[in-house]
Structure 1
């Protein structure tokens, strides 16, 4: 990717909640970059450096959201849209 993605989902291969986050974003027609920590150690390191220790973590702009929280995801996406 040449530009920095505005929405990034840190996930792992067998994570149920990761699937829910990705489905929510797809249903809301939000483009996102998935970073699977099982497939790339660099992504695991990036996640660790955010202070988060589990997945999913969704990064929307400057906001990190742990787990599948529709309210927090919707609010952060609205803020991102308003600021772009």
Structure 2
């Protein structure tokens, strides 16, 4: 399994959903909170994204809580 990175913010309900979804599937991830780190915020900005949650799995980027996209990437 490739590294999974979830970019989040502090009071983001969709971020919590993504983290729960991954945890339920037993998938380890690194959380990067854009409110606590300018570097993480810049990484999201540099990807051309203006919102979280943003989940990066290898070369795939999944914006929001999108179970269809997660299924495609994780079951591949």
With structure 2 as the length reference, what TM-score do the two structures score?
A: 0.94
Q: Which of residues 21, 27, 30 is equivalent to 1:30?
A: 27
Determine the structure 1 residue equivalent to 2:39: 42
C-alpha deviations, 1:46-72, integer Å up to 9, x for none?
000111100000001101111000110
Answer with 1 or 2: which has the greater Rg: 1
CA-based RMSD of the aligned residues comes to 1.0
Determine the structure 1 residue equivalent to 2:4: 7
**Which blocks of at least 5 consecutive residues in structure 2 are unaligned?**
none
Determine the structure 2 residue equivalent to 1:77: 74
Determine the structure 1 residue equivalent to 2:58: 61
Q: Following superposition, which runs of at least 4 residues in structure 1 exceed 4 angstroms of deviation?
A: none
With structure 1 as the length reference, what TM-score do the two structures score?
A: 0.86
- How many residues get paired? 75
RCO higher in 1 or 2 (8 Å CA, sep ≥ 6)?
2
**Which blocks of at least 5 consecutive residues in structure 1 are unaligned?**
80-84
